[in-house]
Structure 1
Amino acid sequence: MASSLNLEHVSRLFQTHRAAALTALGVAIVLPIAVNDYQTYLSYGPGGVPYNVAGWLVSNLLTLASREQLSTGPYHDKELAFANEPGFFPADFPPQRASPRPPLGRHAVPQRQLEQLPSEAIRQQFVDKFEALGEAAQQRGFVEIKQSLYERQHSALFVSTNQKWHSVAQQTRGEIAHIHAGLDGSFHVVLHPADSKKLIETGWGQRHGFSGVTVMKRVAGFSLPVTYMLVYAPRDEAELDVAQAIVKASIGFMAGSRADLE
């Protein structure tokens, strides 16, 4: 009888305070999920949006505009810029990547991989090689080195203002490539359409969630070409060589030169 009366009392309370009860129930369900999602966002390290609750909210909102990242269909479009010209990768490059693709965080920005991370020593070695390549290309007048427009935490390679910028370079505001040097060691590059297709097919990377999303121009004031690619972090010497060659191909494509960059 007591149990029945208690249930009736709870029922009456619920009917009287329905809105408050539903709100409390919703908070109890959603809050742990939100806390876990926020912790995941922080685990990426600083990126292109603020590294705080405001950035997390913006990231979740922007994620609604992201698209799938692994199909190669977009690169069959003959209307793409440079689609009728050869790519910058050699015919037998890159080799098939040895591991399955690493999982990525669910947020579109910052785009980060969660597993298969390099050691600190390998990550720093890649940063050193990237910077040396950039400095060599800068001395030859192909690129300029300055802070990334997209990440805002790392230096990036840009097409030199002394070079003629083609349509893709204009779309990225000149940015060619940058490394996510803080934690995961992955990197973004802009590639020729044929090279973008090869990159996905051989398992070395995927598109950004905003690549080719034209609505981003209205939402964020800029858009990314469909050849804006994430390349997974190199984990050993052999993968460092592959990563370096991918960056070279990106510089060549964006600077409009097939000359040796070193």
Structure 2
Amino acid sequence: MGHPLALGALVGLAGHIARHGFPGRETARWPALSEEPTLREELPDRAGPRPRVSVTITQQQLTDNAPAELQEKLFARLSALVGVDTGPSAISVPGARGFMLTPATTTGPAQAFLVPRAREFAHLHPGQDGSLHVALPVGLAADVIRHGWAVAHPLAGIRLTPGMVLVHGPRDEHELDVVTAIVSASHAWATGKSTPATA
């Protein structure tokens, strides 16, 4: 990691992996993106060009950021997921809000967590950023990258879980539904309600 990757190269590599390189890609499904009936089984494409994202640590969304009110709606939705506690992230920048499972609901594998010892499966970055880091099964991580909702974390599969992605913050109510669904899939994996092949 001595030489930072160009963003274009990272996006291109992610696209290639999404098409060819992740085991189980062909079985990745989104049947339970949310309880909301408006969400489709197939993950939709995110509209417009991809936001600029830093390629350094810490990874941040630099452009096209989520409005503050949508960030708060997203935080409220994710906080209401079953067995979720919130608090300062155990791994992110100051001000990032972590989503951690209670011990009783933590039945997923270690790879379902950004910080296994803290049971943190996702966190929301501070207001000027508004993106999230989320742990997903690699097939679903490939899906969200391919459809433009996320980029891979530079250390995913090296020092962090292979399916760690930065999910872009929502810009409108439709995107709020989709981002909620993506994080809900992470929650389902962390609670043992889904597997990489069926998430």
* Structure-1 residue corresponding to 2:183: 247
| 1:141-180 equivalence runs, <5 A | 143-151=84-92, 152-162=94-104, 163-169=106-112, 172-173=115-116, 174-180=119-125
Which of residues 76, 80, 105 is equivalent to 2:21?
76
Structure with the bigger RCO (C-alpha within 8 Å, sep 6+) is: 2
Structure 1: distance between partners of 2:139 and 2:55: 27
Which of residues 36, 45, 57 is equivalent to 1:108?
57
When normalised by structure 2's length, the TM-score is: 0.75
1:233 maps onto 2:169 in alignment: yes
Question: Contact 1:148–1:178 (CA<8 Å) still a contact in 2?
Answer: yes
Gaps of 5+ in 1: 1-62, 214-222
Which of residues 136, 145, 150 is equivalent to 1:200?
145
Structure 1: distance between partners of 2:66 and 2:56: 21
Query: How much has 1:226 moved relative to structure 2?
Result: 1.5
Structure 2: distance between partners of 1:116 and 1:160: 33
Higher relative helix content:
1
Instruction: String of CA shifts for 1:66-89, please: whole Å, max 9, x gaps.
Output: 6664325288354xxxx4995462
Question: Contact 1:169–1:254 (CA<8 Å) still a contact in 2?
Answer: yes
Residue 73 of structure 1 aligns with an amino acid whose one-letter code is I
Structure 2: distance between partners of 1:253 and 1:99: 29
Structure 2: distance between partners of 1:234 and 1:170: 22
Question: Contact 1:159–1:169 (CA<8 Å) still a contact in 2?
Answer: no
- Say if 1:150 and 1:171 are closer, same or farther in 2 by CA, change over 3 A: closer
* Structure-2 residue corresponding to 1:64: 2
SS where residue 177 of structure 2 aligns? helix
Larger CA Rg, structure 1 vs 2? 1
SS where residue 178 of structure 2 aligns? helix
Structure 2: distance between partners of 1:170 and 1:209: 16
* Structure-1 residue corresponding to 2:155: 210
SS where residue 50 of structure 2 aligns? coil
* Structure-2 residue corresponding to 1:32: none
Q: Which moved more, 1:85-94 or 1:242-251?
A: 85-94
- Say if 1:160 and 1:178 are closer, same or farther in 2 by CA, change over 3 A: same
Residue 110 of structure 2 aligns with an amino acid whose one-letter code is S
Question: Contact 1:94–1:198 (CA<8 Å) still a contact in 2?
Answer: yes
SS where residue 158 of structure 1 aligns? strand
* Structure-2 residue corresponding to 1:43: none
Query: How much has 1:175 moved relative to structure 2?
Result: 1.7
Question: Contact 2:113–2:135 (CA<8 Å) still a contact in 1?
Answer: no
Question: Contact 2:85–2:99 (CA<8 Å) still a contact in 1?
Answer: yes
Query: How much has 1:183 moved relative to structure 2?
Result: 1.3
* Structure-2 residue corresponding to 1:217: none
* Structure-2 residue corresponding to 1:96: 45
Structure 1: distance between partners of 2:54 and 2:109: 32
- Say if 1:149 and 1:201 are closer, same or farther in 2 by CA, change over 3 A: same
